[in-house]
Amino acid sequence: MSATMRCGSLLLKTAFFCSMVGFLPTATAKEGMWVPATLKSREADMKANGLEIPVEHLYNENGTGLNNAIVLFGKGCTGELISSKGLLLTNHHCGYGTVQGLSSKEHDYFAAGFWAKSMQEELPCPGLTVTFVRKMENVTDKILFGIADTLSEMGRDSLISVRIKNLERGFKFASGYDANIKPYYNGNQYWVALTETFRDIRLVGFPPNGIGSFGGDADNWMFPRHTGDFSMFRIYSNKANKPADYSKDNKPYNPQQFFTINTSGYKEGDFTMVYGFPAYTNEYISSYQLNQVLNITDPVRISVRTVRLNIWKEHMQNDRAVFLKYTSKRAGVANGWKKWQGEVRGLENNGVLGLKQDYEKLFQAWAAKDETVPYADELVSQIGARSLAVNELLKADEYIKEAVYGVELISQGAALDKILQLYRTGKANTDTLTKLADSWNGFYRNYDAATDKDVFMALMPMYFDKCEGYIPGAFTRQYAEQGSDYAKWADYVFSSPAADAAKLRQLALSGNPADTLKILGDPVWQLYTGVSNYRKYHVLPVLSKYNEDMAYLNRLYMNAQMKLDRSKAFYPDANFTLRLTYGNVKGIDPDGPAPYAFQTNLDEAVAKHNPGVEEFNMPQKLRDLYQAKDYGRWAVNGTVPIAFTAVNHTSGGNSGSPVLNAKGQLIGTNFDRVWEGTMSDLYFDPRVCRNITLDVRYTLFIIEKFGGAGWLLKEMKIVQK
């Protein structure tokens, strides 16, 4: 039993003992997203857990740190350099959007994959960037000098924004790099990152969906996992090895550092690290805010999306055309839906709400005894009062976002409103109206009114039932006018031209100002503007004020925790900045004493092949390699390892992150978490929180044997020791 569980269950009898050792366990090797520039303070713990290199090899300011081999890939993933010629590895799903833009009917890279046979065949990726962090520096003293902790957020933000802008400008002038200053610890610290962004990125390798997204939505957030979730790109630079726009004259970038690849494998218990750009976590929030997640926002999202997804699924199964329209949308909606279920399950199974409440009792005891933080005494009660006051409105707004805007046609009411605004502003000429109509093509290409109508009939009763007192007048009025009959109401709403691409285009291009009267009387426009104005005038001002108040109180609460809880090693919440986390290879079984196997393999993947289910349809060539046992040097015990789990604290944004061994060598690419541990954005429990990694040996096997791109391996540094 952990220290947390002991203290939590015996709080009343052992409060003094718990206050001495710290109610929540100190951050260990299995928890924490550490700022690379602070790793020296973690070196003893890292080495005790298995690190074999100095932490200066992981990060330093002289260009030799492995931070120079990590990139922010695009706007939301991580990538790593694996050769001296700018070759970059990330996840398949991180490259998905870029590859979609490069694909066509003639070149369907999702079905066939893409493998450049030489650098000359690599494909330019317009708009894609990668960003290196060259240096990080704590600038808290420069940002917060002379600013009292208790200064209001409005006054504080005004001062801080000016200081940030001036300091960023100074850093850029002095260093030649871009400078980005961000808050840490809820605004109690500020760090600057000096960065370099490259703009000429080219596609090198991309497995087909039958490998790169094998298992699809069914296996998402799950383990065992058999997904070859990787893609490869190359960074190009000008002749001076500096960032440049695309040019045929550019050359492969020569990086300051790149990762050595270790293919000797690993065993359970081995030390691992994940290096990258985790997105967002909230590890230090109060029980009141956790309650909002656990009992309001997550349950609303889950319940509404369950209904919506079931309707989509039924229509998709009955009509292949609907399937093709909704398969990508369904995956996007289902991703959060599945994650939130795991999050709720983990929070409930671990009694995290109770643990938070117990910690707050200890915090109050510390605050009462310590006079150096006078504002701490009332913090928890103030947070509670403000949170409880908005819970019902928060729930209503969540239903609006999920149930009301979840009806695609209501959201598309924005199109009608844009036509109206063009007429009102005198800009409704042929050119602007044509451009507006053309902008809707993407929506209608992937829209089915019959499917959406069934969603409307299912979600409106849910919204009316759950949000009494928070329903815009346009909704109650239309419902009453249609005899309080949801089916009749649906017929009326879906008679709008907005439900039909051709009719809406005709309305837009008619150029008749009198049509504005039609729009004003249109049921979809009335619902869209009704709910939008309701949120604008009745919901968002209250929630915005609440969020402003909570930013202030959470900053003080974080400040007070760091001052009063002397037993805990605090790390800042994720904020899309460079971090390193470390732990060990480990399996999981949350429901029994026997752990899952911590590693999966090709034999298991082939057994899941199902040509009748798109996400489990494995390419014939891969199955041929399996039948022939043609694994080359990547064979391990008669198969090829695919994925493994470890206890590393990761989040969104860590997709594509390098997973390293004790020597700082690449052994895999991070791509997911297990469903049971998705609560790690709010509470990390090493018993059930696991990151899932694609074994680099499977990556190399696919590149060489399946992709026929063995030439790429020649530029990598591959070791077996």
For 427, residues 6+ apart whose C-beta sits below 8 A from its C-beta are none
**Contact at 8 Å (CB) between 346 and 676?**
yes
Label residue 642 exposed, middle or buried (CB < 10 Å: 0-12, 13-18, 19+).
buried
For 564, residues 6+ apart whose C-beta sits below 8 A from its C-beta are 363, 366, 367, 370, 373, 376
Neighbour count for residue 221 (Cβ, 10 Å): 21
SS3 label, residue 192: strand
Among residues 19, 83, 92, 93, which one is catalytic?
93
Among residues 217, 219, 229, 515, which one is catalytic?
229
The phi-psi region of residue 74 (left if phi > 0; otherwise alpha if psi is between -120 and 50; otherwise beta) is left
Pairing status of strand 691-695 against strand 599-601: unpaired
DSSP 8-state code for residue 24 = S
SS3 label, residue 221: coil
Q: Which of 3, 6, 20 is nearest to 565 (CA)?
A: 20
In whole angstroms, what is the distance from residue 145 CA to residue 156 CA? 11
The question of whether 655 is a catalytic residue gets the answer: yes
- What single-letter amino acid sits at 549? D
Residue 641 has φ and ψ, to the nearest 5°, of -65, 145
In whole angstroms, what is the distance from residue 139 CA to residue 525 CA? 49
The alpha carbon dihedral of 5, 6, 12, 15 has a sign of negative
The two three-digit tokens of residue 17, written as one number: 């003992």
The question of whether 532 is a catalytic residue gets the answer: no
Among residues 655, 672, 680, 681, which one is catalytic?
655
Q: Report CA-CA distances (Å) from 705 to 167, 230, 667, 701, 702.
A: 51, 15, 19, 6, 6
Three-state SS string over 319-343 comes to CHHHHHHHHHHHHHHHHHHHHHHHH
The alpha carbon dihedral of 296, 298, 301, 307 has a sign of negative
Q: Annotated active-site positions, please?
A: 93, 229, 655
